[in-house]
Structure 1
Amino acid sequence: MKTSSLFVLDLIVWFLLLRSILCYTTFNKILLPSGVTGPESAVFDRGGGGPYVAVSDGRILIWLGPTVGFVDFAYTSPNRTKQLCDGTNDLQLGPTCGRPLALSFNYRTGDLYITDAFYGLLVVGFNGGLATQLSGGHKYLSGIDVESYTGFVYMTDASFTPDSTGRLLKYDPYNHNVTILVSSLSGVGGPAVGSARNYVLFPDNVNKNIQRYWLQGPKIGTSEVFLTDCGSPKNIKRATNNEEFWVALEKQIQQPTPGYSQPQGLRVNGSAAVLQTEPLTEFLNMNIAVVQEINNAIYVGSSHTNFIGVYTN
């Protein structure tokens, strides 16, 4: 007969096993305001508030619950007017309205860092409003992750074409310098720093792999292929569990029609082991941008929708 301690150990093992294979069976939408599209982000503040989303008309919106819905939180362009910009998805208005793409909180300070296609790197405080530009002159800042302990900001500079001019960058908030960590990248997506702060992962979606750049240890300052044959990865976000990540990616499938793109959420750990593959069937043939986990749910953003998708179990 097993002792009570062995029984408890068995329960823990079974719980961890179920956690690793648990599927998200329920799907709901959080609709954006009428006429607004393109939520390419879904982040939460240190109190769990949100999601905050960056949308195509130049605003960052915050969800205040089903009674209130989404309301304005911040914007990136000093030239923006609500009359001209609210509800637009015209890229020609980008220099006037702004186009924020990715968001990441510094959980120690409460500041929200933003990458914008036209205004580069910006930051806004917990009260929102007009964001302050920190670094401009980039081609197309497409992804961001703030390491809250050090305050360093890791971001990716891509381009509109699948060339090899993408870069992984680091912004130092203390001296305001931007350092190039890795260059000559193709189709680079959003990065994520490991919970131990010793490396940063970033997607190379043209070459269909994920790379790792070492921030500490014997390999410091070097990069290597972390995961291959994983479809076309877009952005990476830290998962709830330490040293786990959610990757937003697309894979080509043959059903229901050959050549269709099937978005997926891929959960991996720091050893490059795939822990979970979640088919995001409600986004079939769409370009998803982010998969963000919180409170046993994943929030999915896409440049093609007027909603944030929420998968729960």
Structure 2
Amino acid sequence: MTSNREPNAVPLTRRLLSPRRWTPPPAPADEGRTPTTRPLAVARPIASGGHGPEDVIFDGQGSLLTGLADGRIVRVDPATGACTVVGDTGGRPLGLEPSADGSVLVCDHDRGLLRMSADGSVEVLVDTVAGRPLTFASNVVEGPDRTIWFTVSTRRWDLEHYLGDVIEHSCTGLLVRRDPDGTVTVLRDDLKFANGLVLAPDASHLLVAETTGYRVSRYWLTGPKAGTGEPFVENLAGMPDNMSLGSDGLVWVAIAAPRNALLDRLLPLPGFLRTMVWNLPEAIRPKATPIAWVMAFGLDGRLVHDLRADDGSYGFVTSVAEYDGTVVAGSLHEDDLVVLSL
């Protein structure tokens, strides 16, 4: 995988961490299980035609869109499994957003924010932010007036070494706006691994997943609180990844992994301890607990669905989307998408 790292940057496998201390809230009891918690059941797999369907989203016609590790964007019929290649970004596509004109907005880890037309042609919309190359663009939404908002997970690490940011807790995630005239504005530059993004139906606010903050935050776009943020849901028992707004009006949240107790203990302590952990051989570093986990919240923050499975049927869920009662999940580390049974 290519990378637009800063010139002469130290290779990430040898980078010295600049750890930030943070005292996370105590993890919820019983791993956050509530009466809402139920087993996650995979109804059937859907072949993506490649590897690593990191984000999955429904378009306006009920088809699925996902991006693969080899750069392709594919459209999949969830009923038949028929898969059509829309185009190739030439990089590593992550978050996607279907546009009203039939194009697809793409957060490409290597190339920045792109627009892919129906014929597969690619236009680069943003490739620099605040004078630096845009890398690790994560998720994107578009407003009715074609204003675009997108997240950048971290300014210090790439996708291959994302665990470096988890351990360092760099808090360098961005929330960025691109106006219809092309003006780019950084709205937040201190997010804890900014990830999934949802625009409220009335365009009054954004919801932003902060993976290493164990929370989803609300950023107000209109009204007396415009330009300010507040919690939407916080102190989650897991790490939220991509999000989407379903046709059911729920905010569907992929939970990539549960919180790690060792990491929670290390985060408030002197940073050299985390540097030691980062420099351990990869085989013995702390690893995410294998699980398939999705949640869904009402727009008032009320938990509606909490679906979990640790049977190995699927794992490391990085995206989930709902349309007319069909719920589909995707994963950075799997080949298939999966339809979930509710």
> Normalised by the shorter chain, which TM-score bucket?
0.7 to 0.9
**Aligned in 2, Cα 1:297/1:283: closer, same or farther, shift over 3 Å?**
farther
Residues 134 and 29 (structure 1), Cα distance of their counterparts in 2 relative to 1, 3 Å cut: same
Whether the aligned pair in 2 keeps the contact of 1:235 and 1:247 (CA below 8 Å) is yes
Amino acid at match of 2:244: K
- 1:111 CA displacement: 1.9
Sort the Cα spacing of 1:293 and 1:283 in 2 relative to 1 into closer, same or farther, 3 A: farther
Structure 1 residue ranges, 4+ long, deviating more than 4 angstroms after superposition? 20-26, 64-68, 280-285
Match of 2:74 among 61, 81, 96: 61
Any conservation in 2 of the 1:260–1:285 contact (CA below 8 Å)?
Answer: no
Alignment-derived partner of residue 192 in structure 2: 186
Match of 2:45 among 17, 29, 32: 29
Partner of 2:137: 141
Q: Structure 1: how far apart are the matches of 2:311 and 2:122?
A: 33
SS at structure 2 position matched to 1:260: coil
Indicate the residue corresponding to 1:111 in structure 2: 103
Counterpart residue identity of residue 340, structure 2: Y
RMSD between aligned residues: 2.5
With over 3 angstroms needed to count, the CA separation of the structure-2 counterparts of 1:62 and 1:179, relative to structure 1, is same
Q: What is the Cα deviation at residue 28 of structure 1?
A: 0.6
Counterpart check, 1:168 vs 2:175: yes
Please, which of 125, 145, 152 is the counterpart of residue 150 of structure 1? 145
What letter matches 1:114 in structure 2? V
Over the matched positions of the two proteins, sequence identity in percent amounts to 23
State the SS of the aligned residue for 2:57: coil
Q: Cα gap change, 1:284/1:154 in structure 2, threshold over 3 Å: closer, same or farther?
A: farther
Count the aligned residue pairs.
263
- Of residues 197-206 and 155-164 in structure 1, the stretch that sits farther from structure 2 once superposed is 155-164
Structure 1 residue 285: Cα displacement: 8.0
1:248 aligns with 2:254: yes
1:236 corresponds to 2:265:
no
TM-score normalised to the size of structure 2? 0.71
2:312, 2:174 → 1: CA distance? 28
Higher RCO (C-alpha under 8 Å, 6+ residues apart): 2
1:16 corresponds to:
none
Give ranges in structure 2 of 5+ residues lacking alignment.
Answer: 1-35, 128-132, 158-164, 262-286
The 8 Å contact of residues 38 and 304 in structure 1, kept in 2 or not, is answered as yes
- Partners of 1:189 and 1:204 within 8 A in 2: yes
Paired residue for 1:45?
59
